[in-house]
Structure 1
Amino acid sequence: MDWEAYFKDLQKWMAASNVMLTRVPLDSEKYFEWVVSTLDIIYNRYDHELAHRFLYCIMEFQEDMLEKSKGVVR
C-alpha cells in the first residue's frame, strides 16, 4: 500500500471539495453526487481495508455537516 500516494490523493480531494463548495451548496444533490463518485474513484484505486475506512469516515463527516447545516442534532 502506497500510503504517501493515498494521502496525497485525499489532500487533493479535500481541496477539490472546498472548490466544489464555492460552486454548489453543501445540501445540493450535485455536491453529494460529486462526493460519492469521487470517493468511489479513490476507494477503487486503493484496495486496503484501512484506506477504505478513512473514506467511510470522510463520507460520514460530510453527512454530519449536512445534518448540522439543516439543524439536525444527533
Structure 2
Amino acid sequence: MASTSLEERLTELEVRFAFLEDTVSVLNSTITSHDRLLLEIRDEFRRLRAELGAVRGALTHDPASEPPPPHY
C-alpha cells in the first residue's frame, strides 16, 4: 500500500512538472515575442523623434534669415 501511495505521489509530481514545463515554454515564447515587439516600437519611436526634429527645424521661422522687404 505504501508503494502505491508513493507511486501516485510520483505520478502527480511528474504531471505537475509537465504542466510547469509547458507554462515555462509558453512564457518564454511570449517574452521573446514581446521583446521583439518592444525593439520594433523603440526603433519606430526613434525614427518618429528624428522626423519630428526635422519637421520642427523646417517650421522654425527665423526672421533674420529673410531678405528685407522691397520697399527698403
Do Structure 1 and Structure 2 share a fold, with TM-score over 0.5?
no
> Where on the TM-score scale, by shorter chain, does this alignment land: which range?
0.3 to 0.5
Q: Give the number of the structure whose residues are more often helix, by fraction.
A: 2
Query: Which has the greater radius of gyration?
Result: 2
